[in-house]
Amino acid sequence: MAVISYREALNQAMKEEMDRDANVFIMGEEVGHYNGAYKVTQGLLQRFSERRIVDAPIAEMGFTGIGIGAAMVGLRPIIEFMTFNFSLVAIDQIVNNAAKIFQMSGGQYNIPIVFRGPGGPAVQVGSQHSQSLESYYAHVPGLKVVMPSTALDAKGLLKSAIRDDNPVVFIEGETLYNTTWEVPEGDDELIPIGLADVKRAGSDITLIAWSKMVWTCLEAAKQLAEEGIEAEVVDVRTLRPLDVETLATSVKKTGRCVIVEVGWPVAGYGAEVAYQMQKHCMDMLDAPIERVTSDDVPMPYAKNLEDEVQPQVKDVIEAVKRALYLI
């Protein structure tokens, strides 16, 4: 089994799906001749030509609308945003068109489209480029929202998203592109949308996270194990639809839960997860559910302040010890 990067896994997924289905094409800023802002589309222009790898102008609302129109007539567009911060320019198209056309047309039009690109904080890119917007899109019926944490999940879930007949918001971890994971070879390794994954088994407490916070939780679990505390790490993977059953099974087993997200606390997606866990696990909980989030401020530029604002391993460990009544 090959060990490849998150970036390479995404590239493989798109190449394999474009080989498989001539209706799949990619459109976005710098996706072609520049090979993508993060080099995720590297080599695809040479393989598929400008007919299927379309360099768009800096006009997110425009090329998003073109993609939605293309999906209405049977194509399967992949719309790349240079970062999901820029998707806000196109949010009217995503929320008022892509998410609603199937229902408003009485089922006459499916919208098989993927909106993909990096999201969440990177490193010193300023507050306008460091936002975690998943709760915006997970709020909207008609959209599916996927946030993989590993190269394996990135490939399998992107392939499933491309084949899905519904609009999928596929947010990649901006700091995960160089991380590596074992990924099976072959073009049929799909991971179903709507299925969470237990990344580490444990018995004392459940850590629930998605995207790059899964890695933070895994490191926290490793350090906690040195103190005799076994934490189970569950990767949500798909925010909408949410796999409540897998999450609740873990929380019922451990009796305690910490939810970790890099987004802001107010109306963050972790609040929905916390609601679902108390609803399904109330009788099994031995402590209040803890949430770890970024601070409720725009992201600072200075590196030390940027690190302070975001959840760190020490913050997760502290939350775990609160839930275990150790502090």
Three-state DSSP state, 39: coil
How many C-beta neighbours within 10 Å does residue 253 have?
A: 15
Catalytic residue among 129, 219, 230, 318: 129
Judge whether 129 counts as a catalytic residue.
yes
Judge whether 318 counts as a catalytic residue.
no
Catalytic residue among 8, 29, 60, 134: 60
Q: Helix (H) and strand (E) counts for the chain?
A: 12, 14
Strand-strand pairing, 231-235 and 197-200 = antiparallel
CB 120, CB 211: distance < 8 Å: yes
Give the span between the Cα atoms of 32 and 24, in whole angstroms.
Answer: 15
Which one, of 231, 247, 237, 236, lies nearest residue 321 by Cα? 231
CB 202, CB 315: distance < 8 Å: no
Residues present in the chain in total: 327
Give the span between the Cα atoms of 327 and 32, in whole angstroms.
Answer: 53
Catalytic residue numbers, as ranges: 60, 129
